[in-house]
Structure 1
């Protein structure tokens, strides 16, 4: 199932994208029981929004060994986590805004996990029961500010620094998904989720023992090598096999 958030004539709704690529509004709670209504909209009739509104975005740093090597950092012995605020979220097609405080803003394509249920102190074996699905993400980073500050909060938290979408895919095996990132049509990052240092069940369990995960919360699982800068006028695309393609322009 592909679930998203959409706007039609100013009305925001949750919908399912059908095999005919029409959008069918859903009745009920997105994190509970859902039913589709009969009338669907053509894709050109709706605007695709970010697929969820998380209370928090928990990110995982250095979760691919080649990215750790790229930054001259050691491979971690346990997950390194940090956070982005919900105000950083934008949807497909929305602009990533390069702030004047930064001289270098980088792309980082990642698989994102969307939680379905309230989760606290769960085991890796229980994790799948708490996950709604998966979407594409771009962990946009002001690289110069990250290096200047010595910690990551400011560099990761500007408005528009967390593009998500286009949809939440609920029925996909994430053990070996191809991930590609294109800058202006040129392939820049290429990896597979099979190379994650800490897999998704491990991450969900680890984070749930630190903080309570709420329905709609998002976990970014880490990026591979090949990160690089974006400038005004660029187009960045995150493609994840069986999940989708997230495209955003970049502006000053």
Structure 2
């Protein structure tokens, strides 16, 4: 199942199911809370609603250098344990939006990632139980301000600025996403990144176990699992598409003020 949060034409925030008919996307509305799914037979073309982020995380835990080819392109070692950093709620941006980024920076990069959305409060989760706490997966862009990232060790300026975490368009339940799901990023239609979930250094269960050794994860929290090689700079007016097998395509515009 693919779940979606959206604002309908009347301005009401709803939850629902994302369906495709003849390659045209529709949203089927749901009754109750935005994260519930109970079809009421009302559908909208996706273009008639505002698609919202599929999760509202209290925190996003990101993983650095979790693909060997990305570590190589950064001329950096592959870590011997997951390299963790955080993105706060102000970073979240939605599918279909134009994200306004920092002015006056020489380089803000795209990073396509598979993101895990947590389904229940959890702490000290074993690898064998990790699948039980996953609500689903979504597409994620770990936008990175390289100017400041290179100057600091905690990456707050480099990673935690407003709109630095576009995600969506849907939450795909785990059975939808293959273990070897492909990950692709395009800028203005040109492929920049291409990889596979199976190329991760640390698997999703390993990441959940490591993170929950140190912190409690809440429903809606996100783990961004790292990016394959091909990261590169964005320019004002660019359109970014991140397509992950089993999930769909996250699409957003870029605005960089002068």
Deviates more, 1:105-114 or 1:144-153: 144-153
1:227 Cα deviation after fit: 0.6
Alignment of 1:96 onto 2:95: no
Query: What TM-score, normalized to structure 2?
Result: 0.92
- Following TM superposition, the consecutive aligned residue runs of length 4 or more in structure 1 with deviations greater than 4 angstroms are 28-31
Q: Distance in 2 between matches of 1:127 and 1:150?
A: 30
Q: Secondary structure at the match of 1:38?
A: strand
2:211 maps to what in 1?
Answer: 207
2:14 maps to what in 1?
Answer: 13
Note if contact 2:62-2:223 (Cα within 8 Å) is conserved in structure 1: yes
Residue among 126, 150, 160 paired with 1:123 = 126
1:204 Cα deviation after fit: 1.0
Alignment of 1:182 onto 2:183: no
Corresponding residue pairs, total = 251
Alignment of 1:23 onto 2:18: no
Question: Structure 2: any 5+ residue segments left out of the alignment?
Answer: none
1:244 Cα deviation after fit: 0.9
Question: Structure 1: any 5+ residue segments left out of the alignment?
Answer: none
1:38 Cα deviation after fit: 2.7
Note if contact 1:180-1:239 (Cα within 8 Å) is conserved in structure 2: yes
Note if contact 2:110-2:142 (Cα within 8 Å) is conserved in structure 1: yes
Coordinate RMSD, CA, aligned: 1.5
2:58 maps to what in 1?
Answer: 55
Alignment of 1:228 onto 2:232: yes
Q: Distance in 1 between matches of 2:41 and 2:191?
A: 40
Note if contact 2:178-2:245 (Cα within 8 Å) is conserved in structure 1: no
1:218 maps to what in 2?
Answer: 222
2:169 maps to what in 1?
Answer: 166
Q: Distance in 1 between matches of 2:237 and 2:46?
A: 26
1:231-250 pair list within 5 angstroms: 231-250=235-254
1:101 Cα deviation after fit: 4.6
How big is each residue's C-alpha offset from its partner over 1:57-104, in whole Å with a ceiling of 9 and x where there is no partner? 110000001111111111111101100011111101212223125221
